[in-house]
Chains A and B, each alone.
Chain A
Amino acid sequence: MTNPTVAEEWVAAPLKRLMEDARLLSGVLLYPSGRAVGQFGFSNAADVMSICALTSAINASARELGRQLDGKPFYEMHHAGAERQVFMARASAGAQEFLFVGVFDRESSLGVVAIYFAEFQKALEKLLPEKQKPAVGPTGDFEGELNRSLDALFGPIGKR
């Protein structure tokens, strides 16, 4: 299992702990705008790019669906495939919101992942740098933001 690669150093330790404790195969931490903050289990920037775009879109849809059906946004989603399962959830640290998507198999379980995700969320709250930039909404430059974060994770295009 490889260590997470991160665009923001302070998330490295909690992300590594989540990966190990919950026995996740792969995972991506990102901002709701789609900008990647950290990842593990991926060696290809294109895969992370797709996951960020899809997770961001799924979060927006699920948030609205939750509002319509339950009066409040959904916080967690789970999809159980035949071999692998996907866990997707929102985490917040201060005013900053994050999305996390993780993949696991029969070596873990939804209950175990949910427990360690709750601990991960507490760690983010605790470790959030005081001088963290205030939460900002999407700038509209989705592709630019995503590419900059992928450069931080995998190195600039051409050197990946």
Chain B
Amino acid sequence: MKGVSQVVATLSRVPGVVAAMVVGASDGLIIEASEVVGLSPGATDMRKPTAALAAYLYSKTTRASDAARLGTPAFMRLEAEKGHLCVVGASDVVLVTIVTPGANLGRVRIDMMNAARENA
């Protein structure tokens, strides 16, 4: 099993990933996070609220998926105006990445799911 630091380091090297985080699934607190690419000095660090809300959203998505009898969600991607938020569950943690609009989402998806599988 990879350590959380290694997971974060691997995901943050994927082209287009602005920030990668390993977050507690039940409490939404950051366990390990990469630096934010391109964060200007004095700008608000968005990692903490993103981590908490992404973990919360993933737990609700899991319930929705369960209600629809689809089983556990494999990969969650939220497409927004200025990029994507990707979340994958891995046992007691969720992997969260903030991704640029032009990123190779297929690569992000595969790398996140591989990391989750190795952490499960």
Cα distance A110–B29 when bound, in Å? 7
Closest residue of B by beta carbon distance from A80: B27
Point out the residues of chain B lying under 8 angstroms from A50, CB to CB: none
Interface window among B6-14, B49-57, B73-81, B97-105: B49-57
Complex contact A115–B53 (CB within 8 A): yes
Q: Which of A94-124 contact B (CB under 8 A)?
A: 106, 108-112, 114-115
Cα distance A63–B59 when bound, in Å? 34
Point out the residues of chain A lying under 8 angstroms from B51, CB to CB: 111
B48 is an interface residue with CB less than 8 A from chain A = yes
Complex contact B27–A110 (CB within 8 A): yes
Q: Is the interface of A mostly helix, strand, loop or mixed?
A: helix
- The total of chain B residues at the interface (CB under 8 A) is 14
Point out the residues of chain B lying under 8 angstroms from A80, CB to CB: 27
B16 is an interface residue with CB less than 8 A from chain A = no
Cα distance A69–B53 when bound, in Å? 32
Point out the residues of chain B lying under 8 angstroms from A114, CB to CB: 52
Closest residue of A by beta carbon distance from B60: A107
Point out the residues of chain A lying under 8 angstroms from B48, CB to CB: 111, 115
Point out the residues of chain A lying under 8 angstroms from B65, CB to CB: none
Point out the residues of chain B lying under 8 angstroms from A108, CB to CB: 56
Point out the residues of chain A lying under 8 angstroms from B24, CB to CB: 111
Cβ proximity bits A66-84 to B, threshold 8 Å, 1 near / 0 not: 0000000000000010000
Cα distance A149–B23 when bound, in Å? 40
Closest residue of A by beta carbon distance from B49: A115
B28 is an interface residue with CB less than 8 A from chain A = yes
Point out the residues of chain A lying under 8 angstroms from B23, CB to CB: 111
Point out the residues of chain A lying under 8 angstroms from B26, CB to CB: 106, 109
Closest residue of A by beta carbon distance from B28: A111
Task: Give the most central of A106, A108, A111: most B CB within 10 Å.
Answer: A111
Using a CB–CB cutoff of 8 Å, the interface residues on chain B facing chain A are: 23-24, 26-29, 48-49, 51-53, 55-56, 59
Using a CB–CB cutoff of 8 Å, the interface residues on chain A facing chain B are: 80, 106, 108-112, 114-115
Give 11 A-B contacts (CB < 8 Å), ordered by A residue: A109-B27, A109-B59, A110-B28, A111-B24, A111-B27, A111-B53, A111-B56, A112-B28, A112-B52, A112-B53, A115-B53
| Closest A-B pairs by Cβ, 3 of them | A111-B28, A111-B52, A109-B28
